[in-house]
Amino acid sequence: MKRRWINFVSRFFTIATGLACLAVTVMVALILGNVVRHGFGHLSWKFLSTAPSAGMTEGGIFPAIFGTAFLVILMTLAVVPLGVCTAIYLQEYAPARSRWVPLVRMAIQNLAGVPAIVFGLFGLGFFIQFLGKGIDRFFFGGDLVFGQPAILWAALTLALLTLPTVVVATEEALRVVPRAHREVAYSLGATRWRMVRHVLLPQAVSGILTGTILAVSRGAGEVAPILFTGAAYYLPYLPKRLNQQFMELGYHVYVMATQSPDVDATMPILYATVFVLLALTFTLNFAAILIRSKIRRRMKR
């Protein structure tokens, strides 16, 4: 009798946890389904290739796509060298019982937990007010060139935000390179950097790629850090220089959802923009997951 009761309770809770899993999965599916159902219909080549018009109630989102691409390319240029070098330090260069390693690790982990809006404040206070204004004072005689919101500053702010992603992925990739490979390189007389350059990095390249893709996916979706560092509500031109403002997909979604003059007219465009943003981040995430599982399978062999 008691045994049967225990079995009943066990089965009940097992099913309950399964249902929790199902509930989360269903919520993900509902969100995606909703966006696809309302967003897909409005997509067209014209929508993707033209600028918004008539107070964002007509036209497309090309400037936002262009701005997002420009932004994440700049961000990648900053974050990948920095992140990879940090990971190389942690895995290869740091002495065995270095006091710095736990400190750097702690800094990276804490950086990952800093709220996005705090990065926005930092971008404004450091990059624009301090660096930008400083550059203007020294090189441009006080003219306003870099001391204002700009795509460069937004990209650097995002680079800081995505640094942990790149470091963690690169570290994982370096860690799985067998010890013997390192020893062989050293025994052949390679210096530390030659070993890293010719033995470790070629093997870690797909891991670094995973981290980069995840960082780009994260950076493309974050809005809070770019609110004050460079994103523009609307621009009649595309940004060409580093000190210009830009339009961005996520920010465009925020603006259209909260400040539209005519909500009903904006809705199809809004949904289609959300669709494009989600398609972008999901494609990137899927690519990262695929590459990662490929690496892990190779590792097991």
Partner 1 sequence: MNRSWSERIIEGVIRLSAGLAIASLILIFIFIGKEAVPLFTSAEARAEAGMSKLFLGNRESPDGKRVQVWQPVSEVPKYSLWPLIVGTLKATLVALLFAFPLAIAAAIFTSEFAPPGLREVVKPVIELLAGIPSVVLGFFALIVTATYFQDLFHLDYRLNTWNAGFALGLAVIPIVYTVAEDALTAVPQSFRAGSIALGATPWQTARRVVFPAAFPGIFAAGILGFGRAIGETMIVLMASGNAAILSWNPGYSFRSLSATVAAELGEVVNGSPHYHVLFFIGVLLFAFTFLLNLAGQLWVGRLRRKLTGARS
Q: Which of 81, 78, 249 has its CA nearest to residue 153?
A: 78
CA distances from 78 to 41, 154, 158, 163, 218 (A): 37, 12, 9, 9, 15
Complex with partner 1: residue 87 or 151, whichever CB lies closer? 87
249 with 61: CB under 8 angstroms? yes
Complex with partner 1: residue 244 or 281, whichever CB lies closer? 281
CB of 104 to partner 1, least distance (A): 5
Residue choice 70, 146, 153, 228 for contact with partner 1 (CB under 8 A): 228
- Which span (44-52, 54-62, 134-142, 188-196) binds partner 1, by CB under 8 A? 188-196
CB of 182 to partner 1, least distance (A): 16
Q: How many angstroms separate the CA atoms of 149 and 202, rounded?
A: 38
CB of 27 to partner 1, least distance (A): 7
Using CB under 8 A as the criterion, what x/- string covers residues 24-63 for binding partner 1? xx-xx--x--xx----------------------------
Residue choice 158, 195, 232, 253 for contact with partner 1 (CB under 8 A): 253
CA-based torsion, 62, 63, 64, 69: positive or negative? positive
**Segment 203-222, which members bind partner 1 (CB under 8 A)?**
217, 220-222
Taking CB under 8 A as the rule, does residue 257 contact partner 1?
A: yes
- Which span (2-10, 69-77, 140-148, 170-178) binds partner 1, by CB under 8 A? 2-10
216 with 75: CB under 8 angstroms? yes
Complex with partner 1: residue 244 or 266, whichever CB lies closer? 266
CB of 258 to partner 1, least distance (A): 6
**Segment 80-139, which members bind partner 1 (CB under 8 A)?**
81-82, 85-86, 88-90, 93-94, 100, 103-104, 106-122, 124-126, 130
Q: How many angstroms separate the CA atoms of 130 and 101, rounded?
A: 29
Complex with partner 1: residue 14 or 49, whichever CB lies closer? 14
- Which span (15-23, 51-59, 63-71, 176-184) binds partner 1, by CB under 8 A? 15-23
Q: How many angstroms separate the CA atoms of 12 and 252, rounded?
A: 46
Binding residues for partner 1, rule CB under 8 A, total 82
Q: How many angstroms separate the CA atoms of 47 and 174, rounded?
A: 43
- Note the helical H segments in the chain: 2-39, 45-49, 62-88, 100-113, 116-122, 133-139, 151-175, 179-187, 192-195, 201-221, 249-259, 263-300
Cβ atoms within 10 A of the Cβ of 206, count?
15
Taking CB under 8 A as the rule, does residue 282 contact partner 1?
A: yes
91 with 174: CB under 8 angstroms? yes
